[in-house]
Amino acid sequence: EYPAPPLPTPGSHPKLPASEDELYDCLDYYYLRDFPACGAGRSKGRTRRERELRTNWPVPGGHERKIAQKLLNGQRKRRQRQLQPRARTRLA
């Protein structure tokens, strides 16, 4: 149906693109823009947008989260100790 492209002759050089737009297509620009240039395994193969959308914690401050969790756990333990009678030991 379609004519075959002409075969290059041994003495001819391939035609170079005139601009960068001809060199890259839309998908190439997507990968260049969204995927980080750093090593593999840093974002589990996700784009920056996917990583931001699928993040568990909207606040990146891990230290504040850890301190708040410790305080809540301590309060919960104190309440549980007050509700339960103290276990009797031999020493007392």
46-88 per-position pLDDT tens digit: 777 777 777 766 666 777 888 889 999 999 999 998 888 777 7
Helix (H) or strand (E) holding 65: helix 62-83
Where in the sequence is the domain holding 77, given as residue range(s)?
Answer: 20-83
Residue 11 lies in a domain: no
Its pTM surpasses 0.85: no
Q: How far, in Å, CA of 16 to CA of 22, rounded?
A: 9
Residue 3 lies in a domain: no
Residue 15 lies in a domain: no
Residue 65 lies in a domain: yes
pLDDT for the residue numbered 18: 66
Q: How far, in Å, CA of 16 to CA of 67, rounded?
A: 60
Question: How many independent structural domains does the chain possess?
Answer: 1
Residue 60 lies in a domain: yes
Q: Concatenate the DSSP letters of all residues of 21-62 into one string.
A: HHH--HHHHHHHHHS-SS-TTSSTT--HHHHHHT-S-S---H
Residue 54 lies in a domain: yes
Residue 37 lies in a domain: yes
Q: How far, in Å, CA of 47 to CA of 54, rounded?
A: 11
Residue 40 lies in a domain: yes
